[in-house]
Structure 1
């Protein structure tokens, strides 16, 4: 069995799912997890945050339901309103980190969300990836070189295509690949216990 986590680094509900994902990985270290960027804010949705009038209300709901925290720097960024969330750049960053440390893709994706939602750092800024890489003990120069490479652009576009092929239209979505089956485990919000119960209903163990 393999898990596929389709998220967007600029998605507040994906940030809210971080605790569940972290707990699942801790419980089931032998289960591989593919981390796929969904491309929430691309094309005509790539606009200033002020255009999304529901952000504060949605973040409040996310915090109440999941316990996720939104830091002061992020809240100032959202309140000012001019910042543009660019999911294509974020997907390149996810791909650059994933390529540098494939076995740490979940950890690094969560670190990127922390960089934005706690510290208010732009996921279009190469310095954000330098900081994440250095904190994780990775080769920061290799990550930065990857962030701007054509291969990483291709990887980001491949993530968007895979999202569409999987039929995912909302983030985050957690899927299980069991043999030839693709089974939804969570969309938007679920606890680790709820995901484990759904896995047990599939007749597979978490280490399958």
Structure 2
């Protein structure tokens, strides 16, 4: 089954993706020996949509308690303070570049990086625009923080992030989180569109594999 791939399309600034992050991490820990995993940044907040967190504060304030009750995740006091002040800039670009940089070091652990990145933003209240966040994460993964920070400036990883954004559109992902199982170059199965619990994901994987097996008999 290592020929099959599980693709996780998320955005670092997607609050429902934060709620889903423990689920996708558990899925990775459970199935990493059976499937290759890939993480793609969706590019949810770019261009004119990027700006102070205060511009989306009303949405997050109205939804975060629902996310907590549905998923069991908690939004940290430090993040909620940023939300109240409204000044922290929200843009998907830099965290997506950071994911591309991380994949140049440890692509097989991208799911864990995505989880820890969102934990740092939504619980610890770290600013996704500041290099200090990515230096902190680099150290946690045993990566030279100076090397990681230097790569954040390389055009190669900026381009890789925007390639991810285009790939998410090509996969017809319009909302996050989304999880797909890739059977072949042109055959994909949708495992999750929006928050989905681990048990449901596991059942869907089993059903899809049974469907694939039945076609090859």
The alignment status of 1:193 with 2:196, answered yes or no, reads no
Q: TM-score, normalised by structure 1?
A: 0.95
Query: Which residue of structure 2 lines up, in the alignment, with residue 85 of structure 1?
Result: 90
Query: Which residue of structure 1 lines up, in the alignment, with residue 18 of structure 2?
Result: 15
In the comparison of the two structures, how many residue pairs are matched? 205
Q: Report the Cα distance in structure 2 between the residues aligned to 1:204 and 1:24, rounded to whole angstroms.
A: 18
The alignment status of 1:28 with 2:31, answered yes or no, reads yes
The alignment status of 1:49 with 2:53, answered yes or no, reads yes
- Report deviation, 1:47: 2.0
The alignment status of 1:123 with 2:128, answered yes or no, reads yes
Q: Report the Cα distance in structure 2 between the residues aligned to 1:185 and 1:76, rounded to whole angstroms.
A: 35
Query: Which residue of structure 1 lines up, in the alignment, with residue 41 of structure 2?
Result: 37
Q: Report the Cα distance in structure 2 between the residues aligned to 1:148 and 1:107, rounded to whole angstroms.
A: 23
Structure number with greater Rg is 2
Q: Report the Cα distance in structure 1 between the residues aligned to 2:7 and 2:181, rounded to whole angstroms.
A: 6
Q: TM-score, normalised by structure 2?
A: 0.91
Contact 1:39-1:88 within 8 A present in 2 as well = yes
Unaligned 5+ segments in structure 1 are none
Query: CA deviation digits over 1:166-203, x for unaligned, max 9?
Result: 00010110011013311111111111110111112213
